[in-house]
Structure 1
Amino acid sequence: MVHTHLYSGGVRWKIGPRGALIEALAQAERRHGLTLRLGFEHEFLLLRPNPNPSSDDKWVPIDQTSYCASQAWHQQVGVLDAIVNAVEALGQEVEQCHAEAAPGQFEIVTHHMPAMEAVDALVMCRETICAVAATHGLKATFIPKFFANEAGNGSHMHFSLWANGCNIFSEGVVESAGLPRTAAQFVAGVLHHLPALMAVTTPSTNSYRRLQPGTWSGAFQVWGMDNREAPLRGAFSPDGSTATNFELKAMDATANPYLAAAALIYAGLDGIDMARVLPEPVEMDPHLLESAPRLPTSPEEAYRCLQHSDHAIIRQGLGEGLVRAVLATGRSAASFFSERTFAEEVKILVERL
């Protein structure tokens, strides 16, 4: 449901997620003259009914192909063409559609848009993918971790900063880590607050099954220029001289995307306000570095980070009432799933994501 919660007098509800993003975007423009554009990578599984009536598994992957396999497209061209056409009919530009690494896994990448439009479009894109799959007798699911030992599904958020119609990631004098000063400070703020951001970008028990070392999901608090193991990745030109956007990989479909985008903005604005310094990029597997700090490994760890005084600016931005709601619902869900096996968890979530 895409709407802003309002009281009868037209005042925004203080714990409405879309309203939180409206306020965050307003602060970015008011305080620093900045607007944001976002683009998303939509990773999902296509499942078919299990032909084995004696199996406990209701759904099985539609194929067993691997990353970017052409036969995956050839075999599923009917449903994939229908999905792409339906998403583009919504006014969204599809940049890529290809097979991902896990069985039955695909990815659609949509072009960047102004932040609020992009998040609204994300919601509609997911709904469309699921609806089109259903008309083909299939189940589309965005569950972060369906297979215990295969790649999971992320909802990677690409963000860029704009001022006076220019992308400040690629315009201006490069001063720090290959970026203009304001851009570097914004990214430094996101990196600094990333453990707390994960309370809203990867809020579920299932999220942390995906966020493991060596799985291209980003398990350590580092950034890289083209490092698939970094949760923050800069999209730089081949010679490394300019960037166009940054990718946050530590995000999935269990997140409320409005809250995730709002929290990211507050983290970045804090980076500018505090003149935070972006460290040197990590261009190797951070799992091999003794000094690379591990990101939270459970929802509770992320919730505690959000509550820590070092990340108070995120709570202040979102509002204490909204944060209390996030923590209460998140901890309730974590408690529920703590009493269930991974197989039970998957059966529940695959019908909801």
Structure 2
Amino acid sequence: LRPDFSSLRVLPYASKTAMIMCTAHNQQSLELSPLCARGLLERVLCEAREGLGIEFCVGVELEFMLFRSDARGGLPQPVDMSTFANSVTLNEQEEFISTLNDQLEQQDIPVELVHAESAAGQLELVLTYSSNVVQLADDVVFARETISACAKQYGMKALFLPKTSTTQAGNGLHLHFSFHNSNDNAFTDPSQPSGVSLRGQSFIEGVLNHFPSLLSFTLPTVNSFRRMGPGCWTGHEVGWSVEDKEVPIRVCVDLNSRMATNVEFKLSDATANIYLELAMILTAGVEGIKTEAKLRPMMGESNNEIRHSLPTTLLESLDSLKQDKLLTSVMGSALSTAYIAVRKAQVD
């Protein structure tokens, strides 16, 4: 293991303890291990930078639920029954939220906002949009650990499980993407009807082309697929939109300028390996840019559109991945074979 000292964090919730991220290398040749997901993400970003002259920017919305840890003789109960944007959760959990923010700040993890989400006891933590994608991925891991530790300090348990109830919304990890060159947002083009540049459109189409396979990384557990479907605000068909929250890919528009700023990938959750899922989504998008893929019409825009359903199980998505020559080739034989085998074993 080769430590990346730029990732070193002193943990405020653990006495005399620090955490550091590493890349895995062959002990004899010192070459990067073909099984290292963090190293794979670095390689994908480097190839986009050198081959296309673009730097990716990524944002993350991390959802979790707070449960009481003192349940006796029954299932743990959420700390409250509030709903989206309700101030009850923020008021009742003010101490927890304040401590959490302080602990994240001490680790140099910038937080944009925290707000109550749709399910009982559910909060969403939004990390500040960043052009340092590997560091952002590290921050997601650090944030998850910090949330769990901080909740424990207050007698609660933080759950990132994608689906905890058939009657409540689930926990997602929404990902936002854009890219720039020469410090300009190259994803935006006001002259285009969608507000998205031609390269941005090709990026989206590249992701859509590989969507069934990508779900094996972004929804990597059996429970993950219980969060998706009609009426779940996640989408269940391959497509994109602007305002429609039932579509899995959404172009986000600035409320003031009405310009497209980024694209949101909604079918992801915190059970995913953040490095691997980012590497694979970016790989698909970069392929779209390289081939100048033409973006299909927005869902619901064409009367003649042919809709394609997404996989409804992890096994279906893994079967798609096995047939996906682009993603498996970028992963390499060792990683793709191991990943598919491990995920299938977990299903069994």
Query: Do both proteins adopt the same fold according to a TM-score greater than 0.5, normalized to the shorter chain?
Result: yes
Q: Which has the higher helix share?
A: 1
Deviations 1:76-134 (A, max 9, x none): 11111111222222222211211111111110111111211110111111111111111
CA RMSD of aligned residues (A): 2.0
Unaligned runs of 5+ in 2: 1-19
CA distance in 2, matches of 1:177, 1:262: 26
User: Alignment partner of 1:252: what SS?
Assistant: coil
User: Which residue of the other structure, out of 313, 333, 336, is the alignment partner of 2:346?
Assistant: 333
Q: Which runs of 4+ in 1 moved over 4 A?
A: none
> In the alignment, which residue of structure 1 is the partner of 2:47?
27
Instruction: Quickly say closer, same or farther: Cα 1:193–1:160, change in 2 above 3 A.
Output: same
Residues matched between the structures, number: 326
User: Alignment partner of 2:210: what SS?
Assistant: helix
Contact map agreement 2:41 2:275 (CA 8 A) in 1: yes
Report whether the alignment pairs 1:121 with 2:134. Answer: no
CA distance in 2, matches of 1:121, 1:81: 18
CA distance in 2, matches of 1:2, 1:150: 35
Report whether the alignment pairs 1:322 with 2:335. Answer: yes
User: Alignment partner of 1:156: what SS?
Assistant: strand
Unaligned runs of 5+ in 1: 336-353
> In the alignment, which residue of structure 2 is the partner of 1:43?
63
> In the alignment, which residue of structure 2 is the partner of 1:338?
none
User: Alignment partner of 1:179: what SS?
Assistant: coil
Report whether the alignment pairs 1:4 with 2:28. Answer: no
CA distance in 1, matches of 2:305, 2:202: 25
> In the alignment, which residue of structure 2 is the partner of 1:340?
none
User: Alignment partner of 1:246: what SS?
Assistant: strand
User: Alignment partner of 2:57: what SS?
Assistant: strand
CA distance in 1, matches of 2:200, 2:47: 16
Instruction: Quickly say closer, same or farther: Cα 1:214–1:77, change in 2 above 3 A.
Output: same
1:147 alignment partner AA: S
CA distance in 1, matches of 2:101, 2:66: 14
CA distance in 2, matches of 1:168, 1:141: 37
1:41 alignment partner AA: E
1:19 alignment partner AA: G
TM alignment of 1:191-270, pairs within 5 A: 191-238=208-255, 242-270=259-287
1:14 alignment partner AA: P
CA distance in 1, matches of 2:310, 2:322: 15
Report whether the alignment pairs 1:292 with 2:307. Answer: yes
CA distance in 1, matches of 2:191, 2:305: 30
Report whether the alignment pairs 1:179 with 2:196. Answer: yes
Moved more, 237-246 or 123-132: 237-246
Structure 1 position 236, deviation (Å) = 1.4
Structure 1 position 283, deviation (Å) = 6.0
Instruction: Quickly say closer, same or farther: Cα 1:290–1:61, change in 2 above 3 A.
Output: farther
CA distance in 1, matches of 2:244, 2:179: 21
Contact map agreement 1:178 1:240 (CA 8 A) in 2: no
User: Alignment partner of 1:259: what SS?
Assistant: helix
Contact map agreement 1:158 1:246 (CA 8 A) in 2: yes
User: Alignment partner of 1:132: what SS?
Assistant: helix
Structure 1 position 152, deviation (Å) = 0.3
User: Alignment partner of 1:73: what SS?
Assistant: helix
Report whether the alignment pairs 1:70 with 2:90. Answer: no
User: Alignment partner of 2:146: what SS?
Assistant: helix
Q: What fraction of aligned residue pairs are identical, expressed as a percent?
A: 31
Contact map agreement 2:190 2:259 (CA 8 A) in 1: no
Per the normalisation by structure 2, the TM-score is 0.89
Contact map agreement 1:225 1:283 (CA 8 A) in 2: no
